[in-house]
Amino acid sequence: MGKGKHFGVLGALVLCMVLAGPAWAQKTLTNGIDFGFPPFGFVDTQGNPAGFDVESVNWIAEQMGFTVRHQPMDWDGIIPALNANKIDFIASGMSITEERKKVVNFTIPYYQVTQVLVVNEGEETSFDDMFTTGKKIGVQRGTNTHTLLIDMAKEPGKNFDIVAYDSTDLSMQDLPLGRIHGSAMDSSIAREIKKGRPFKVAGTFDVEPDSYGYAVRKADTELLNTLNEGLEKLMADPYWSELKKKWDLE
């Protein structure tokens, strides 16, 4: 009797644990986002996290049975914050690169972008001359585009200064003032930034397109699988097209 009762209690506990799912599903997960990277992740005029990735993750969380909060933070410290357990994953327009894959795992890709240079509408300097005539080029620090410029500056014949910012928005505040001559960024954010403003794309960098993915810690394979499953469901749902249309990502 005693053994049978003990086994029954133990079995019930195990069953509850199975039904409850993974431990992380029982608490709110924190998604780290860029505070100034529209349309994917940013803080709106009311001080609330917003953007394509924010709404995508909200949908995935509801479908996959967990809750999520979005934590804006400086982009150049976002991966260290992830690996220090200050956040649980990153869904904010992060490019999948070989360097980043050494320290985090990525979900399946969900969007593709190119790298472009944005200048003032009246700028007459050609795209190529921007990088050979001592111009100042702004870029958000810690981004794939920042790495691209650093590598590009080492090439023979190149002559330009890199001005790194905490966000692309900050670089675009300096561009009209003449503090920089151009700002390098992903094509998706360039399209957003140009809306109703006197900017234009001077040209596209001669590099392979980037793919965006969500980043998780190397050890969090269960969370990675859940996010992958959620992304697949989202991309197969009509809501995916609605989101892309809403954020002008079609």
What pLDDT sits at residue 27? 80
Fill in the DSSP letter of residue 234: H
* pLDDT tens track for 146-173: 999 999 999 999 999 999 999 999 999 9
Of 25-34, 116-125, 182-191, which gets the smallest average pLDDT? 25-34
- Measured distance CA(30)–CA(87) in Å, rounded: 5
What pLDDT sits at residue 200? 97
What is the number of other CB atoms lying within 10 angstroms of the CB of residue 228? 16
Task: Say how many residues make up the chain.
Answer: 250
Fill in the DSSP letter of residue 24: G
At residue 4, does pLDDT exceed 60? no
Q: What is the pTM of this model?
A: 0.81
Domains of the chain: 28-111+212-247 (3.40.190.10), 115-208 (3.40.190.10)
User: Residue range 85-113: average pLDDT?
Assistant: 97
At residue 11, does pLDDT exceed 60? no
Strand partners, 37: 41
Q: Give the model's confidence band at 250: pLDDT under 50 very low, under 70 low, under 90 confident, else very high.
A: confident
* pLDDT tens track for 37-70: 999 999 999 999 999 999 999 999 999 999 999 9
**In Å, how far are 140, 152, 162, 234 from 58, measured between CA atoms?**
26, 38, 36, 11
- Measured distance CA(188)–CA(162) in Å, rounded: 21
Helix, strand or coil, per DSSP, at residue 142: coil
- At 146, which amino acid appears? H
User: Residue range 233-245: average pLDDT?
Assistant: 98
Tell me whether strands 182-186 and 89-90 are parallel, antiparallel or unpaired: unpaired
- Measured distance CA(149)–CA(139) in Å, rounded: 8
At residue 159's C-alpha, the angle toward residues 157 and 163, to 5°, is 145
User: Residue range 188-206: average pLDDT?
Assistant: 93
- At 196, which amino acid appears? G
Fill in the DSSP letter of residue 112: E
Instruction: Provide the mean pLDDT of the chain.
Output: 91
